[in-house]
Amino acid sequence: MSKHLTKRAEDYSKWYNELVVKADLAENSAVRGCMVIKPYGFAIWEKMQAELDRMFKETGHQNAYFPLFVPKSLFEAEEKNAEGFAKECAVVTHYRLQNDPNREGKLRVDPEAKLEEELVVRPTSEAIIWNTYKGWIQSYRDLPLLINQWANVVRWEMRTRLFLRTAEFLWQEGHTAHATKSEAVVEAKQMQDVYAEFAENFMAMPVIKGVKSDSERFAGAEDTYTIEALMQDGKALQAGTSHFLGQNFAEAFDVKFTSKEGKQEYVWATSWGVSTRLIGGLIMTHSDDKGLVLPPKLAPIQVVIVPIYKGEEQLEAISKKVDEIVKELRKKGISVKFDNRDTFRPGAKFAEYELKGVPVRIAIGNRDLENGTLEIARRDTFEKQTVNQNDAVVVIEHLLEEIQNNLFQKAIDYRKENTTVVDDFAAFKKAIKRGGFVSAHWDGTEETEDRIKEYTKATIRCIPNDAKEEVGACVLTGKPSTKRVLFAKAY
């Protein structure tokens, strides 16, 4: 199978598109820009959801569910937010179909069933949620309000790519309300930390935490905290954002509370989200020319066992031994699949699991039974070892950890090699052309940002949280700057 996969060096973009489909993760649907997430791809999303949901709950958040539709009048209430999303909104205008009198067996929109007010399919839920919060918040006792929702959203993007940019995508969106500004800022930063921890510890995808420049901010936010990852082709991926929304939505929807001192004040807000886009990031961080490479912590199948046999009898003897091993592995919480299909040969199975990125593959044949051994191969390095069956569980447990760590370390190394510090524009252009993160001084103006984008297609990914204060000169204008920011071309 994998021999039909385009090589990354040939055409990275084509490699990605092919891999997503060949590894059975997702495919395009009959609806422009909308994807079908196939069971194997969805299993990765379920693993991501489970970990994130746990982290959200551990930080005090509860899940809820708000309507898919936003009445236009609510949608437009927070003007910047509305302006930011208006151009990519799917709009429901009618609520009924009827038989088409001109075409037997066909339907048409019933012109009589026009909605009085159009409904926007949510591109994000601040408007509908803050309109709801108005009824929930009266006093400081009602705060903080810490709510998350898992949902589908729709943004009518013109150019779409599976997982990375689709018209409909799945995500979670947290929406919190606070009595004070500082508490809201702490919350927004906390969720950035949660996202970074998830990206690094589970996805094995290193990220830079930082804040967005004014022009890259979320529409309606005061500050957008982001995590930025570097893909294998040298392009950055915005992997998650957490917004400090100030009092913008509270003002737009008139959400006030009575403070401890008895004063009426507007509520402070945050919102934060990650989406199925993360699956795209996961793929592009680790995978290779043979196919998907998955970090064990998010792999739907962590270990696959392939029997090497001739005839029923051998298969039966092998299966008996395998059943024991499977039981032991499951006891340790390891997800394992025994592929005993007789419609495929071992070689084809090996190729399939390589393509699907299963971290550990076990092969066990007749001779292994005699010797009490089995062969363990790891997906990340292709290393193989023959181990005693009695040691298998311990070896595998250890190996899964090692693979997880190795993938993270490789990605860290890659990012290090592909982060360039530059001090003049010639070097800047060269570095951007080569790809990767470019750390440079910037004079803080939108104008300079725009010109750099025009010249190089690079954008400011973020002003890193750990950027040092230093005296510098803008890489384009030479004007004074106190901090380096991170540029890159981005998805």
Question: SS in 3 state form for 3-21?
Answer: HHCCCCCCCHHHHHHHHHH
Amino acid at position 217, single letter: R
Closest separation between CB of residue 112 and a second copy, Å?
Answer: 11
Is the Cβ of residue 147 or residue 294 nearer to a second copy in the bound state?
147
Question: In angstroms, what CA-CA distances link 412 with 40, 146, 429, 470?
Answer: 27, 33, 23, 25
d(CA 395, CA 491): 39
Give the residue from 410, 490, 415, 5 showing the smallest Cα distance to 213.
Answer: 490
Closest separation between CB of residue 94 and a second copy, Å?
Answer: 4
Is the Cβ of residue 264 or residue 343 nearer to a second copy in the bound state?
343
Is the Cβ of residue 61 or residue 209 nearer to a second copy in the bound state?
61
Closest separation between CB of residue 62 and a second copy, Å?
Answer: 4
Is the Cβ of residue 63 or residue 385 nearer to a second copy in the bound state?
63
d(CA 396, CA 411): 22
Is the Cβ of residue 31 or residue 394 nearer to a second copy in the bound state?
31
Residue 103 CB: number of other CB atoms within 10 A?
A: 9
Question: Are residues 486 and 438 in contact, defined by beta-carbon separation less than 8 angstroms?
Answer: yes
DSSP 122: P
Tokens describing residue 355: 């393509």
Question: SS in 3 state form for 313-367?
Answer: HHHHHHHHHHHHHHHHHHHCCCCEEECCCCCCCHHHHHHHHHHCCCCEEEEEEHH
Closest separation between CB of residue 410 and a second copy, Å?
Answer: 30
Question: Are residues 207 and 239 in contact, defined by beta-carbon separation less than 8 angstroms?
Answer: yes
SS3 412: helix
Is the Cβ of residue 207 or residue 274 nearer to a second copy in the bound state?
274
| Residue 271, burial from CB neighbour count under 10 angstroms (0-12, 13-18, 19+) | buried
Is the Cβ of residue 46 or residue 401 nearer to a second copy in the bound state?
46
Closest separation between CB of residue 52 and a second copy, Å?
Answer: 14
Is the Cβ of residue 61 or residue 484 nearer to a second copy in the bound state?
61
Is the Cβ of residue 144 or residue 210 nearer to a second copy in the bound state?
144
SS3 94: strand
Q: What is the dihedral of CA 223, 227, 230, 234, to 10 degrees?
A: -10
Closest separation between CB of residue 273 and a second copy, Å?
Answer: 17
Signed CA dihedral, 9, 14, 16, 22: sign only? negative
Closest separation between CB of residue 286 and a second copy, Å?
Answer: 23
Is the Cβ of residue 112 or residue 469 nearer to a second copy in the bound state?
112
Is the Cβ of residue 105 or residue 262 nearer to a second copy in the bound state?
105
List residues near a second copy by CB under 8 A: 27, 29-31, 34-39, 42-43, 45-46, 62-72, 74-76, 79, 82, 86-99, 105-107, 109, 118-121, 128, 131-132, 135, 141, 147, 151-152, 154, 156, 168, 170, 343
Tokens describing residue 19: 């891999």
Closest separation between CB of residue 143 and a second copy, Å?
Answer: 13
Amino acid at position 136, single letter: W
d(CA 193, CA 176): 16
Closest separation between CB of residue 390 and a second copy, Å?
Answer: 31
d(CA 201, CA 199): 6
Question: In angstroms, what CA-CA distances link 91 with 8, 132, 153?
Answer: 39, 21, 13
Closest separation between CB of residue 136 and a second copy, Å?
Answer: 8
Tokens describing residue 219: 């529409």
Closest separation between CB of residue 302 and a second copy, Å?
Answer: 17
